[in-house]
Structure 1
Amino acid sequence: MRSTKRLIDQRMKPSIVVLFQLLFFIGIMACKTDDPSVSNQTGTENGGNTDQDTTKNRLRIRIGSQIFTATLLDNATVTAFRARLPMTVVMGELNGNEKLYRFSSDLPTNPANPGTIQTGDLMLYGANTLVLFYQTFPTPYSYTKLGRIVNTAGLAAAVGSGSVTITFELE
């Protein structure tokens, strides 16, 4: 009986070591994320990389005689949006807080619910609706983020209460 118990103990020791190694590996992988919006770095929304040339991520938004500057994110939707620039469009009014324009063809999407829309957010609703928000409010809807206006002072007055012509171009 003792020799059987010793044999079982000898067989289990390597298994226990392998089990602990496996649990350690699973624990490390559980801390890893492929979500680009989650970063362990500090800095800008693009993962903290402040060394890159940010001028390619700057968008000039002309509304009448006023010019606003937005910072674009780095994602597939922005790449497709940038390929359409420069563009001048008539954006319609919706809900007293946003202007929208529908593209004739879809852009790639990665929608998420932001919880709260911020004044100056530039987003894509669905796959083809460009939305410029000029009021902050909570939302149950999901959007794909494109970027945000840096200084929103005067934005609501510039867009007014009806349709408005807006030019989007890279700086």
Structure 2
Amino acid sequence: MKRTQLFLLPFLVFIMGSMACKTDSPIPADQPSMPNPVSPDLNPVTDSSSNRLRIRVGSSTFTATLLSNPTVTAFKTRLPLTLSMKELNGNEKFADLSNSLPTNATNPGTIQAGDLTLYGANTLVLFYESFRTSYSYTKLGRIDNPSGLAAALGSGNVTVSFALE
């Protein structure tokens, strides 16, 4: 009798443990899984599907429309983001990101004031003047109305905040 109990006890523990790990129902392959709920205080980005970006420079705020590409998708996971951007060439501000983003660089021929791009894999560039270029960039988006952008950014280094709307 003791041998039977000795055999049944580990067997019962195994069965009980297996049942405790079982999920109620698997998610069918054709249904997207639901994200885990996160407290709004811990995750200020509430809608990562938004393609509207708020760019704040001092007391000035600009809105931009982001493109739909893998670079933008990866960029949005880092938002909100505040960067100290450096002046370059009298036409752009740039900042190096801590990690690389996916790239698909092309030469636009002409940069437009308000273009938001990635140079290389980790340099975020915000252009405030239009000009012709021979460099290649991965385009992220564009400020909807860049009027006043050059004045807001000024001639030196500046702190710029990026957040989804």
TM over 0.5: yes
Q: Is 1:61 the counterpart of 2:50 in the alignment?
A: no
4+ long deviations beyond 2 Å = none
Structure 2 regions of 5+ residues with no counterpart?
1-48
Counterpart selection for 1:108 from 102, 109, 116: 102
Counterpart selection for 2:125 from 131, 136, 141: 131
Counterpart selection for 2:88 from 94, 97, 112: 94
Matched residue, 1:72: 66
When the two chains are superposed, the root-mean-square deviation of aligned CA atoms in Å is 1.2
* Partner Cα distance (1:149, 1:138) in 2: 18
Matched residue, 2:150: 156
Bigger helix fraction: 1
How big is each residue's C-alpha offset from its partner over 1:49-86, in whole Å with a ceiling of 9 and x where there is no partner? xxxxxx81000000000100000000000001000000
Matched residue, 2:3: none
Task: Tell me the percent identity.
Answer: 70
Aligned residues: 118
* Partner Cα distance (1:104, 1:78) in 2: 16
Q: Is 1:168 the counterpart of 2:155 in the alignment?
A: no
* Partner Cα distance (1:84, 1:104) in 2: 10
Give SS of 1:77's match: helix
Give SS of 1:108's match: coil
Give SS of 1:56's match: coil
Matched residue, 1:19: none
Compute the displacement of 1:99 (Å).
Answer: 0.2
* Partner Cα distance (2:155, 2:144) in 1: 22
Give SS of 2:50's match: helix
Compute the displacement of 1:165 (Å).
Answer: 0.4
Question: Counterparts of 1:40-55 in structure 2 under 5 Å?
Answer: none
TM-score normalised by L of structure 2? 0.70
TM-score normalised by L of structure 1? 0.68
Aligned amino acid, residue 83 of structure 1: T
